């Protein structure tokens, strides 16, 4: 009878150990990002031809293909195509008209996805890196009914054009390009396939060579060279090769942007148009926007961009005789504008997005069909901090007029914005997908007051008094605002709804991220939905990747180190303003008097001291032949430890080896599948612990971390005769001695010199099998280090992050025996060879966190809490309480009930007090 | 008895042969005071994968005001790149018991050095004694491995092989029967 009740009680108790269910989606946040969309691979497309609903498809610079719902900006589906994150690699994304398929090309891989749900239909490995990819819009009835075929052009040793079956991805025919010309693009009209090749002349100029292919057999039917003997110095001035329109064109300019030369592919005539600068500066960029459908009118728009203005010209092509004529001009507008093409049946519309307006015109006449104001003041587009980079648009047409237009605009701030008739619907902070480094900035408010008080203490009494009075006047001016906010704050606190804006718990730290395209972006860890500021920190040449590292320099200030400038640059974390180094007050929390520096350079690790001139190299740790450094992890600078020892079950103490100058070095031997681990003293260069693992899969990720007096690393071991291939996690802990209440050689020494002392720590290690490989490790940080720690492990294969409690991976877990009473008291339990990741350890719950490269942690003001921020492609952040909320009330705490109880007790006291008093007086005066 | 003696003699001979067959390497260790322009030879050490001996030892000349001395060795193929540690100059004083540690990698080649120096009273037990310098070999540990549980061994019939045969009723409860019998005897005796 009692047993089921007991079981029910146990079942009720168990979930209390995990995150509270009501906190799972409130304390953590996740941006499922795609990366910066490219103009050529971003478009609106209807996955279901029968429905009018369309999705935005993109293949981003970060190599993520995805579909976004234009209604709310939510990701419908996405796939990470390459994890190398090489933005310079050409990538292609095409969708067939009225088809439930999108075809992507990246590297040498062609993949067709179902447009509605993102399932992979087929995959094809091209012979070499892809140069171009097109969908063949053939109407001749001999093509496969249903799915449309794909044309792909690949470069490399044996360049070729292949036609792939739209349903299976099988190669229908292959045309090998044997002329030695460089393949450039592939294009198709309704009857022919054109391979555009570039021929290098002896003088170093480029000639455009067009090879006409039969779409059914792939045989060459014609070949001609466009007469451009010495006008094309490089391929960079080829503006566009219009693919798949009713009459594909090829357009190029001279390097000075004086004339635009256009050729209708298949016809030999070239038409020249002088570029009209409209009395302004010459253009810096010329782009061509043409519809992608064979059924559309053969109209196109040429977009000219000068330093300060944009203008455009619209041209019409006569399909029958291949004649091109200019139809009309679109006026010059100062400031950046972006153009996009959309189609509706045969009609073609051009949409122009500027800072203030959205215009739509038809390709046939210059009359404006729709004009809307960009009407939000909150958008970074309207306040002038960002400009449109490119856009993709979709128009809804009612009769003759355009009733609505939706434009997905990429802003120069890296936000992806959807404008619906000019009003912003949503923004996605896609710039964060390119984060290369991030850091928590120390909160600045408290330090401002400290600085002011210090100023008063150091100046003479009179000026200190004046300073204090002005400070108080400044404070009084804030009083009305404070008083006005007080009732609301009280109500919020009382009902537990929302935050009051103050950061008493330190949850609202600013995170500054450096992105690969040279931007600095700041987000608030407490309110992550909006980007605080975003600014271009450096100007990069195209294709260059910013290799930057962000660090917290002082309260409210971050320092950025990169390979461009030799000196670090400083930025205000709350505004993004660059500040000079002299304005940075040195941070009291971080030790600045560094005696010994250690550097990793050319595979040599060495320590230097700045105190002596001349031979200032202190120690050297050069690698053996064939040895390469995998990672170097120093102990975090700010790594507070509350207890210098471990309290055992019998109240004795085991002393930790706490050395602030520790570093963990992991090296591998090429060709020997060997992994070596060294724990170094970074002052003396002495090796405190080292080991070597044989038979390691070096292609699998190897992660390592170091904190307090323990380290952890993981690797994948190859199979041996006794063990299968598997992932392993090693945890080691350094102690001063392994005898309790004994510090070994150190005795009662409070200060120890790394140079003079000869103490060697004793290291305990334990190894576990883990279910999957760990790509990156990190450790939680709290303010005082009282809270127990968690080892944060990024699981790249399951797109997750787990927080492994420190107690579970304690190297002192008894092996092959049950723990003794004392060990049980200490919380140790029996060692198991397999460490399974408990579902409660998953910080991401059921979300998928793609492409995480690193996890950073920072203490909050509350001791129980550590802030966690993961970046790479997706951005994920949460608050962790490794020892649970011991200093904070949970959301389930009923403030109303508590106050009501207090009030009721107060009332009862007031009511009962006279009665009791009367009774006591009566007792004294009445005699039995 | 005799066979085992012969075996052990043979084995020990083999072991000593194996040790002897290991290539003996030598390394020159230098001491380099931080202010000095170039290093001075400290000791020459011959080592193999298990033991090391001090061939020569020269007490280093360290300026009186020098705090830090570097101890290291040059890479065999280079005269400028070196591996070594920094230590306090007082650790090389003659009154200290010094133990030079030769850290060997998995190939048995030196990759780093260490120095442990103690006041003579706390002298540690070391390897071969040199002229005021002991030397010990610290081989590279092999990485920790997973402690597996005991494998389950099944016999040909697919059952657990080392399952103990169950005890019979008499084996289990002989003591109860014994007590019962003794009680009966005692009771019978007391009745008379």
Whether B148 sits inside 8 A of A687 (CB atoms) is no
Report, as ranges of residue numbers, the positions in chain A whose pLDDT lies below 70.
Answer: 1-22, 83-88, 138-145, 227-231, 242-245, 376-379, 444-448, 493-502, 583-595, 610-615, 928
Q: Which residue of B has its CA nearest to A814?
A: B147
Is the CB of residue A733 less than 8 Å from the CB of residue A811?
yes
Q: Which residue of B has its CA nearest to A616?
A: B34
Q: Which chain B residues are closer than 8 Å to A677 by Cβ?
A: 143
| Domain extent at residue B108 | 22-139
Count chain A–chain B contacts defined by CB atoms under 8 A.
Answer: 114
Q: Which chain B residues are closer than 8 Å to A693 by Cβ?
A: 142-143
Give the Cα separation of A111 and B127 in Å (integer).
66
Nearest-Cα distance to chain A for B67, in Å, is 10
Is the CB of residue A2 less than 8 Å from the CB of residue A376?
no
Please name which of B20, B22, B99 lies closest in space to residue B57, comparing C-alpha atoms: B99
Sheet with A338-344, edge to edge strand ranges: A338-344, A347-353, A357-362, A368-373
Mutant choice from B85, B124, B139, B152 vs A, greatest count of A C-beta within 10 A: B85
Q: Which chain A residues are closer than 8 Å to B87 by Cβ?
A: 684, 755-756
Query: pLDDT at position A710, please?
Result: 96
Query: pLDDT at position A22, please?
Result: 61
Give the Cα separation of A496 and A895 in Å (integer).
8
Nearest-Cα distance to chain B for A686, in Å, is 6
Domain ranges of chain A: 141-435, 444-495, 894-927
Q: Is B152 on the interface with A (CB under 8 A)?
A: no
Q: Which chain A residues are closer than 8 Å to B75 by Cβ?
A: 622
Whether A753 sits inside 8 A of B88 (CB atoms) is yes
Nearest-Cα distance to chain A for B35, in Å, is 7
Give the Cα separation of B108 and A678 in Å (integer).
17
Q: Which residue of A has its CA nearest to B98?
A: A758
Please name which of A849, A808, A854 lies closest in space to residue A831, comparing C-alpha atoms: A808
Q: Is A854 helix (H, G, I), strand (E, B) or coil?
A: strand
Interface pTM, i.e. ipTM: 0.76
Give the Cα separation of A110 and B152 in Å (integer).
49
DSSP string, A484-546: HHHHHHHHHHHHT-S--S--TTS---EEEEEETTSEEEEEESSSTTSEEEEEE-S---TT---
Is the CB of residue B98 less than 8 Å from the CB of residue B79?
no
Query: pLDDT at position A494, please?
Result: 66
Give, in order, the Cα–Cα distances in Å from A485 to each of A481, A489, A492.
6, 6, 11
- Structural domain count of chain B: 1
The residues near A668 (Cβ < 8 Å, ≥ 6 apart) are A627, A628, A630, A674, A675, A676, A696, A698, A702
Question: Which phi and psi angles does A919 have, rounded to 5°?
Answer: -65, -40
Please name which of A178, A86, A66 lies closest in space to residue A129, comparing C-alpha atoms: A86
DSSP string, A204-222: S-EEEEEEEE-TTT--EEE
> Residue B128: is its pLDDT beyond 50?
no
Give the Cα separation of A378 and A400 in Å (integer).
33
The residues near A588 (Cβ < 8 Å, ≥ 6 apart) are none
Nearest-by-Cβ selection for A620 from B35, B84, B118: B84
Per-residue pLDDT tens over the stretch A604-650: 888 888 654 555 788 999 888 888 899 999 998 889 999 999 999 89
Please name which of A804, A584, A608, A570 lies closest in space to residue A703, comparing C-alpha atoms: A804
Whether A691 sits inside 8 A of B81 (CB atoms) is no
Give the Cα separation of A387 and A409 in Å (integer).
10
Q: Is B74 on the interface with A (CB under 8 A)?
A: no
Length of chain A: 928
Question: Which phi and psi angles does A334 have, rounded to 5°?
Answer: -65, 150
**Residue B145 belongs to a domain:** no
Is the CB of residue A649 less than 8 Å from the CB of residue A822?
yes
Q: Is A801 helix (H, G, I), strand (E, B) or coil?
A: strand
| Exposed/middle/buried for residue A694 (C-beta within 10 Å: 0-12, 13-18, 19+) | middle
Q: Which chain B residues are closer than 8 Å to A683 by Cβ?
A: 86
Q: How confident is the model at residue B160 (pLDDT cuts 50, 70, 90)?
A: confident
Mutant choice from B91, B143, B150, B151 vs A, greatest count of A C-beta within 10 A: B143
Give the Cα separation of A708 and A636 in Å (integer).
9
Q: Which residue of B has its CA nearest to A727?
A: B146
| Exposed/middle/buried for residue A9 (C-beta within 10 Å: 0-12, 13-18, 19+) | exposed
According to CATH, the topology of domain A141-435 is Methylamine Dehydrogenase; Chain H (2.130.10)
Q: Is A116 helix (H, G, I), strand (E, B) or coil?
A: coil
Query: pLDDT at position A14, please?
Result: 39
Instruction: Please report which helix (H) or strand (E) contains residue B169, including its range.
Output: helix B169-191
Whether A694 sits inside 8 A of B70 (CB atoms) is no
**A-proximal residues of B, 12-51, CB under 8 Å:** 32, 34-37
Q: Is B128 on the interface with A (CB under 8 A)?
A: no
Nearest-by-Cβ selection for A619 from B70, B111, B148: B70
Instruction: Please report which helix (H) or strand (E) contains residue A633, including its range.
Output: strand A627-634
Please name which of A289, A248, A247 lies closest in space to residue A43, comparing C-alpha atoms: A289
pTM value is 0.85
Whether B70 sits inside 8 A of A618 (CB atoms) is yes
Q: Is B9 helix (H, G, I), strand (E, B) or coil?
A: helix
Is the CB of residue A351 less than 8 Å from the CB of residue A391?
yes
Nearest-by-Cβ selection for A833 from B34, B90, B148: B148
b/e code A894-927 from CB counts within 10 Å (16+ = b): eeeeeeeeeeeeeeeeeeeeeeeeeeeeeeeeee
Query: pLDDT at position A705, please?
Result: 96
Give the Cα separation of A840 and A837 in Å (integer).
8
Q: Which chain B residues are closer than 8 Å to A674 by Cβ?
A: 106
b/e code B131-150 from CB counts within 10 Å (16+ = b): ebbbbbbbebeebbebeeee
SS3 readout for A666-715: EEEECCCCEEEEEEEECCCCCEEEEEEECCECCCCCCEEEEECCEEEEEE
Nearest-Cα distance to chain A for B90, in Å, is 7
Whether A620 sits inside 8 A of B72 (CB atoms) is yes
Whether B147 sits inside 8 A of A815 (CB atoms) is yes
Q: Which residue of B has its CA nearest to A695?
A: B143
Whether B81 sits inside 8 A of A831 (CB atoms) is no
Cα-based angle A570, A573, A579 (whole degrees, multiple of 5): 30
Q: Is B86 on the interface with A (CB under 8 A)?
A: yes
Provide the 10 A C-beta neighbour count for residue A105: 28
Q: Which chain A residues are closer than 8 Å to B118 by Cβ?
A: 745, 758
Nearest-Cα distance to chain A for B51, in Å, is 19
Is the CB of residue A159 less than 8 Å from the CB of residue A169?
no
Query: pLDDT at position A21, please?
Result: 59
Report the relative pairing of strands A160-164 and A171-176 from DSSP bridges. Answer: antiparallel
Whether A767 sits inside 8 A of B145 (CB atoms) is yes
Give the Cα separation of A65 and A56 in Å (integer).
11
């Amino acid at each position: 009878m009692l047993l089921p009740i007991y079981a029910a009680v146990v079942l009720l108790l168990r979930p209390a150990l995990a995150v509270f269910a009501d906190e799972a989606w409130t304390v953590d946040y996740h941006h499922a990002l795609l990366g910066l969309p490219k103009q050529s691979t971003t478009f609106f497309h209807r996955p279901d031809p029968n429905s009018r609903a369309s999705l935005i498809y993109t293949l981003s610079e970060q190599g993520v293909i995805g579909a976004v719902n234009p209604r709310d900006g939510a990701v419908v589906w996405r796939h990470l195509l390459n994890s190398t994150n090489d933005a310079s690699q050409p990538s292609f994304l095409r969708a067939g008209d009225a088809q439930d398929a999108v075809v992507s090309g990246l590297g040498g891989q062609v993949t067709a996805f179902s447009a509605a749900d993102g399932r992979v239909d087929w995959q094809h490995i091209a012979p070499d890196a892809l140069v171009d990819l097109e969908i063949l819009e053939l109407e001749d009835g001999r093509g496969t009914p249903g799915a449309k075929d794909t044309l792909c052009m690949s470069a490399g040793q044996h360049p070729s054009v292949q036609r792939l079956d739209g349903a299976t991805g099988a190669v229908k025919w292959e045309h090998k390009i044997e002329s030695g010309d460089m393949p450039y693009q592939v294009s198709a009209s309704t009857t022919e396939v054109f391979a555009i090749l570039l021929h290098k002349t002896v003088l170093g100029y480029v000639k455009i060579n067009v090879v006409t292919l039969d779409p059914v057999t792939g045989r060459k039917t014609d070949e001609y060279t466009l007469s451009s003997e010495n006008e094309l110095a490089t391929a960079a001035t080829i503006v566009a090769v219009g693919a798949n329109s009713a009459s594909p064109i090829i357009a190029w300019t001279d390097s000075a942007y004086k004339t635009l030369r256009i050729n209708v592919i298949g016809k030999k005539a070239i038409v020249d148009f002088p570029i009209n600068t409209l009395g302004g500066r010459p253009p810096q960029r010329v782009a061509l926007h043409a519809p992608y459908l064979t059924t559309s009118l053969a109209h196109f728009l040429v977009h000219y961009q000068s330093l300060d203005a944009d203008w455009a010209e619209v041209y019409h092509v006569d399909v029958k005789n291949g004649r091109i004529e200019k139809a009309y001009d679109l006026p010059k507008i100062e400031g950046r504008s972006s153009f996009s093409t959309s189609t509706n049946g045969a009609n073609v519309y051009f949409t122009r997005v500027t800072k203030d307006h959205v215009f739509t015109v038809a390709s046939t006449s210059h009359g404006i069909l729709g004009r809307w104001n960009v009407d939000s003041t909150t958008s970074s587009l309207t306040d002038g901090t960002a400009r449109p980079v490119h856009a993709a648009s979709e128009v809804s047409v009612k009769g003759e007029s355009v009733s609505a237009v939706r434009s997905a605009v990429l802003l120069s701030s890296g936000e992806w914005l959807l404008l619906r008739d000019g009003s912003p619907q949503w923004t996605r902070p896609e710039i964060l997908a390119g984060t290369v480094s991030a850091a928590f900035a120390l909160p600045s408010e408290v330090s401002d007051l400290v600085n002011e008080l210090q100023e008063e203490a150091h100046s003479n009494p009179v000026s200190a008094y004046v300073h204090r009075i002005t400070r108080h006047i400044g404070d009084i001016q804030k009083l009305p605002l404070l008083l006005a906010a007080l009732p609301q704050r009280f109500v919020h606190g009382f009902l537990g709804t929302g935050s009051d804006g103050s950061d008493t718990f330190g949850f609202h730290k600013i995170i500054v991220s450096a992105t690969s395209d040279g931007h600095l972006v700041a987000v608030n860890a407490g309110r992550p939905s909006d980007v605080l500021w975003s600014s271009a920190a450096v100007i990069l040449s195209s294709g260059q990747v910013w290799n930057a590292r962000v660090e917290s320099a002082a309260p409210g200030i971050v320092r950025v180190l990169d390979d461009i400038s030799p000196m670090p640059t400083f930025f205000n974390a709350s505004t993004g303003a660059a500040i000079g180094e002299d304005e940075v007050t040195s941070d009291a929390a971080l030790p600045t008097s560094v005696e010994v520096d250690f550097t990793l350079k050319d595979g040599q690790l060495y320590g230097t001291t700045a105190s002596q001139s001349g031979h200032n190299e202190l120690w050297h740790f050069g690698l053996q032949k064939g040895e390469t450094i995998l990672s170097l992890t120093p102990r975090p600078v700010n790594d507070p430890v509350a207890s210098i020892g471990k309290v055992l079950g019998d109240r004795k103490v085991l002393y930790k080896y706490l050395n602030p100058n520790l570093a963990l070095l992991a090296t591998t031997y090429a060709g020997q599948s060997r992994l070596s681990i060294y724990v170094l003293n970074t002052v003396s260069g002495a090796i405190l612990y080292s080991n070597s693992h044989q038979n390691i899969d070096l292609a699998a990720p190897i992660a390592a971390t170091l904190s307090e007096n323990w380290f952890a690393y993981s690797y994948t071991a190859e199979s041996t005769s006794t063990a299968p291939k598997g992932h392993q996690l090693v945890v080691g802990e350094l102690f001063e001695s392994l005898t309790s209440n004994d510090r070994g050689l150190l005795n009662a020494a409070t200060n120890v010199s790394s140079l003079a002392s000869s103490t060697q720590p004793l290291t305990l290690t334990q190894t576990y099998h883990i279910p999957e490989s760990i790509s990156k490790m990190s450790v939680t940080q709290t303010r005082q280090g009282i809270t127990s720690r968690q080892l944060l492990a990024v699981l790249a294969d399951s797109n997750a992050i787990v927080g492994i409690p420190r107690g579970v991976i304690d190297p002192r877990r008894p092996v092959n025996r049950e723990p003794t009473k004392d060990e049980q008291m200490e919380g140790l339990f029996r060692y198991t060879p397999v460490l399974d990741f408990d579902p409660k350890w998953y910080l991401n719950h059921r979300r998928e966190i793609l492409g995480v490269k690193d996890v950073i942690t920072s203490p909050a003001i509350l001791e129980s809490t550590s802030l966690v921020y993961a970046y790479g492609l997706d951005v994920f952040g949460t608050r962790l309480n490794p020892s649970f909320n011991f200093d904070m009330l949970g959301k389930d705490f009923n403030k109303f009930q508590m106050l009501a109880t207090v009030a009721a007790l107060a009332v009862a006291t007031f009511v009962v007090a006279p009665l009791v008093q009367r009774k006591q007086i009566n007792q004294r005066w009445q005699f039995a | 008895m005799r066979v085992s003696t012969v075996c052990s003699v043979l084995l020990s001979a083999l072991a000593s042969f194996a040790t002897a067959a290991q290539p003996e390497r030598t390394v020159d260790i230098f001491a380099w005071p931080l202010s000095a322009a170039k290093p001075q030879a400290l000791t020459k050490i011959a080592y193999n994968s298990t033991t090391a001996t001090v061939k020569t030892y020269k007490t280093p000349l360290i300026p009186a005001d020098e705090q830090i001395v570097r101890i290291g060795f040059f890479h065999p193929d280079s005269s400028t790149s070196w591996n070594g540690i920094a230590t306090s100059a007082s650790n090389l004083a003659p009154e200290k018991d010094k133990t030079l540690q030769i850290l060997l990698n998995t190939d048995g080649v030196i990759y780093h050095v260490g120095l442990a120096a103690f006041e003579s009273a706390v002298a540690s037990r070391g390897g071969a004694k040199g002229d005021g310098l002991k030397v010990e070999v610290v081989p590279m540990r092999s990485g920790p491995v997973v402690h597996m549980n005991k494998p389950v061994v099944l016999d040909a019939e697919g059952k657990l092989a080392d399952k103990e045969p169950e005890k019979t009723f008499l084996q289990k409860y002989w003591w109860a029967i014994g007590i019962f019998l003794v009680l009966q005897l005692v009771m019978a005796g007391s009745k008379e």
